[in-house]
Structure 1
Amino acid sequence: MKKSAYWLIGIVLVVVLAAFGIHSISGTQAANKSKSSSILIGSQGSDIDIWQHIAKTNDAKKLGLKIRVKNIADGVQLNKATADGDVDVNAFQSWSYLETYNQQNKSNKLAALGTTYLEPMGLYSKKYKNVKDIPAGSTIAIANNPSQAARGLVLLQKAGLIKLDKNFGYVGTVKDIKSNPKNFKFKQIDDTTGPRVINDVDAVLISNTVALEGHLHVLTDSIYHEKVDQSTKDNINILATSEKNKNNPNYKKLVKLYHKKDIQKYIKDKYYGTKIEVNKPLSYLK
């Protein structure tokens, strides 16, 4: 009888321990699954609002993604946090910004996950309705921010007003102007003051974020603006992650999520169509 009792107790213990082990394994798997589908996105400016909205959508739920959004205002710090793994993915920068960061941080690089939008820079004037009407000797205001200044100069070249050196780069300056047939003068300004100086110069280059804050619509108020083509590919915004995480399947889902029709409708309505969707393969940027 005692032996039978011991055997029975032993069998019960084995069953209980086995059940506990299975429960622990399944619990661990569930925790890992939950952890893998939870994504911290670092962002700034209007992209914060966009991703906070996306995080609440049914589209995100259907893809099994739990998205948290963190505001990190400094772009270099945000990229460093992403490269270090403190932030999973970031949404704020252009392709050229990422390329410049990688050139300066070769041991801790970032990788693009996919394209999101182009926010066009525009050339604005209260005096002239067409770029061809801007007379010789006119003053054009340009940002004192190196990357924005370079972007503005490329836009002026695209408009046929100047020609740049063939090796013009991401942080080129007015010194790299090869031809200036109308002898335009360039006035450097803080890139946030464009709308305020528009009456003081013949024309001014303004980024779209600043233009919107100054109640200017790039598609209707500018006399010339960027379009989605190879000349503006460097200015296309992207989602980025650390190099080691570039193949993470959940992170890649964010690109698909961003381009969902209802999400694009929200972005178009909220920003008056000035964030132009760019759904291109990464090979388009290279």
Structure 2
Amino acid sequence: MSRWKKAIFTGIALVSLLTLTACGKAASSNSSHTGSKSESIIIGSSGSDYQIWQHIAKSPQAKKAGLRIKVKQVSDGNVTNSATAEGQLDVNAFQSYAYFQQYNKLNPSEKLAALGTTYLEPMGLYSKKYKQLREIPDGATIGISNDPANATRGLLLLATAKLVTLKSDFNALSTVKDIQANPKHLKFKEVDPSVQMLPDLDAELISNTRALDGGLNVLKDSLVHEKLNQTTRANVNILVTAVKNEKKEEFKKLVPLYHDPTIQSWIKKTFSGTKLDVNKPISYLQQK
């Protein structure tokens, strides 16, 4: 069993037991939970998304929509998805469409459904040693996430920056082994996404959630970052629920609530424009 899978199973065992016990008890005490006006919709989230949904839960817009929302803070993405599939959480808000697709492929018995899009949070390449992309030296060591979805996303960003060339069949399950050309002879070191930039790295690919936690603005501090276009569709974040719940009207209301102009104005101001609003149907993300 790989280190990554062991981490997932360990996380599920620990976090499901400790963090989500209260949610599980709430779900089991009322098996007919539907997210109606008399009950709260339980949203699992983390980092800046947790902050956003706390704000939305208390907003006049949520009250006007007739939604009662409780936000649970969770730290592990796979645990959050598992808890959502099992009904301990109604909805979760933390992941990209690519992450969601990969989870469903690896967990066919706990498949999830996408409710709608929220934003693109650009991934960036950061460095404490160099101020411009062209300064990255031959043989530089690049930190890349040990999470497969974010690692693939990072490689695509490096390809956009013309630091590497990827194989023609590069896909969501590809790795550094699928680099076709590496003219700068870059070396790659897997890093835990939960820690800050390591001192022995020349540069590091960092998700915007983690960058924000570290006081970085992807639009200003990165050497290069993702742009919102056709090639980054799979990196758009989504709201997710269990397949059995995807038709529930109360859950569907969360999508337009997120995109409410007043809510969006607050998000833009709070996160310095680093969460790019994407109000598109899920079919947009599914295009080839």
Partner of 2:273: 273
Preserved CA contact (<8 Å) 2:37 2:67: no
**Count of equivalent residues:** 254
Q: Percent identity?
A: 57
On the 8 A contact 2:47/2:213 being kept in 1, the answer is: no
1-structure distance, mates of 2:177, 2:169:
12
Q: Which residue of 2 aligns with 1:203?
A: 203
Q: Counterpart in 2 of 1:282?
A: 282
Q: Is contact 1:194–1:204 with CA below 8 Å preserved after alignment?
A: no
1:107 matched to which residue of 2? 109
Task: Return closer, same or farther for 1:201/1:105 CA change in 2, 3 Å cut-off.
Answer: closer
Which segments of 5 or more consecutive residues in structure 2 lack a partner in the other structure? 1-32
1:116 aligned counterpart, secondary structure: strand
Counterpart among 74, 77, 94 of residue 75 in structure 1: 77
Query: Hey, what does 1:229 align to over in structure 2?
Result: 229
RMSD between superposed Cα atoms in Å: 2.3
Q: Tell me what 2:160 maps to.
A: 158
Any idea what SS the aligned residue of 2:101 has?
Answer: helix
Distance 2:34 2:126 in 1: 52
Which of the numbers 175, 178, 186 marks the counterpart of 1:176? 178
For the residue of structure 2 that corresponds to 1:169, the secondary structure is coil
- Between the aligned partners of 2:194 and 2:57, the Cα distance in structure 1 is 30
Q: Which runs of 5+ in 1 are unaligned?
A: 1-30
Contact 2:37 2:66 in 1 (8 A): no
Any conservation in 1 of the 2:219–2:274 contact (CA below 8 Å)?
yes
In 2, Cα distance between equivalents of 1:187 and 1:72: 26
When residues 90 and 219 of structure 1 are mapped into structure 2, their CA distance, relative to the original with a 3 A threshold, is same
Aligned partner of residue 212 in structure 1, secondary structure: helix
Change (3 A) 1:250 1:32: closer
- Match of residue 123, structure 2, among 121, 124, 128: 121
Deviations 1:63-88 (Å, cap 9, x if unpaired)?
Answer: 11111112232322221222222322
- Larger Cα-atom Rg: 1
Find the counterpart in structure 2 of residue 239 from structure 1: 239
Using structure 1 for the length normalisation, give the TM-score: 0.80
Residue 273 of structure 1 aligns to a residue in which SS?
A: coil
Report 1:132-151 matches (<5 A): 132-151=134-153
TM (norm. structure 2) is 0.80
1:149 and 1:171 in contact (8 A); partners too: no
Q: 1:59 aligns to what?
A: 61
The runs of at least 4 consecutive aligned structure 1 residues that moved more than 6 Å come to: none
The one-letter code matched in structure 2 to 1:148 is: N
Distance, in Å, in 2 between the alignment partners of 1:44 and 1:32 is 23
CA distance in 2, matches of 1:149, 1:194: 16
